[in-house]
Structure 1
Amino acid sequence: MTKFGYKKSNSDQSLFLKRQDDHITCLIIYVDDMIITGDDKEEIQTLKEQLSREYEMKDFGQLKYFLGIEVLRSKGGIFIYQRKYILDLLAAIGMIDCKPTETPIIANHGLQMIKGQKLADRGQYQRVVGKLIYLSHTRPNIAYAVGVVSRFMHQP
């Protein structure tokens, strides 16, 4: 990407950025999928052409779904959500019929480690917490609760 004038982001090794004048073009890569976006339509088209000369690619048009995140466009803007991701997670942990709540944990919850208590399945616990961390990107209302349960990752 550097030969095309892009710089790797300091915050994400799979994100490449190119700034020209008042415009920006972004490319994010995950394994064999990529998203190209920005406000410079000419640069986006040029990048697509450059990449297609180097690699076999398909352009699927407007982004609709990527890594469990659904994208909806309307006159009000672009909205991202993870409905399918949530339903799959609830099904996987046997909670598909659970009732929704506005706040998933109360403040001053009092959760703590108690010696001698039977531990939960560590692998399953870590997988679920990892999925909840990813979910908090589109559901910031669960961030506090996810932070609390992630404290018990090594001894759930």
Structure 2
Amino acid sequence: MDQHQQLALAKGPVLEDPSSYRRLVGRLIYLAATRPDLTYAVHILSRFMQAPKEDHWLAALKVVRYLKGTLGQGILLRAESSFHLNGWCDSDWDSCPLSHRSTTGWIVQLGSSPVSWKTKKQNTSSASSAEAEYRAMNAVTKELLFLKNLLHELGVDHEGPMTISCDSKPAIHISNNPVFHERTKHIELDCHFVRDEIVKGVIKPFHVSTTNQLADILTKALGRREFDAFLLKLGIRNLHAPT
């Protein structure tokens, strides 16, 4: 998608027959189950299923052109990868110009390959970027616990704490601080279970720079160079390319 494009503020004419747009986005939703690179674009396009406009249709066609140029692109599951679970979480604070809600994006890697990912607009407005990032940590922690239990059911024991990579130092500080204070009282109490899992040693947060935050690809439209670089770091390859 084009950088800084605000499809929510599109003022073009409404499509006379929205069924074509709905069918196309429905197919893209199906593809996003195996294509993490489509997740953010599909998340944005699916917001306008009720009354799509011409700008929304053109943005959807751009995704189709991208797909035609990357038919062999997919997730590479390396045989030598470890069974360590690593989560990446990020948020785009106040990203929706209409509801002023933030967008959460997270990816979970098994070894070096992504196995679970999601982009979602947060249910409530966040008063600060740190709060939005903390909600993203809450979401990825739940997914990590689920995948750890799933591995255990399959006979694979996860050794050591699972890691969470976050580019917000305030959010990491809140999760590590055992004292509730005025700045965090407005955050729902159920979000603070992240802190309990850190105390138990189940997860361990790490700070990463924004340029190395892999979940950034799920929260905003990036430039072509940054987009391609993140795909390589995520373990997404063109499986039809000659070795």
Q: So what's the TM-score if we normalise by structure 1?
A: 0.30
* Larger RCO (alpha carbons 8 Å, 6+ apart): 2
Larger proportion of strand: 1
Q: So what's the TM-score if we normalise by structure 2?
A: 0.20
Larger proportion of helix: 2
Structure number, greater radius of gyration: 1
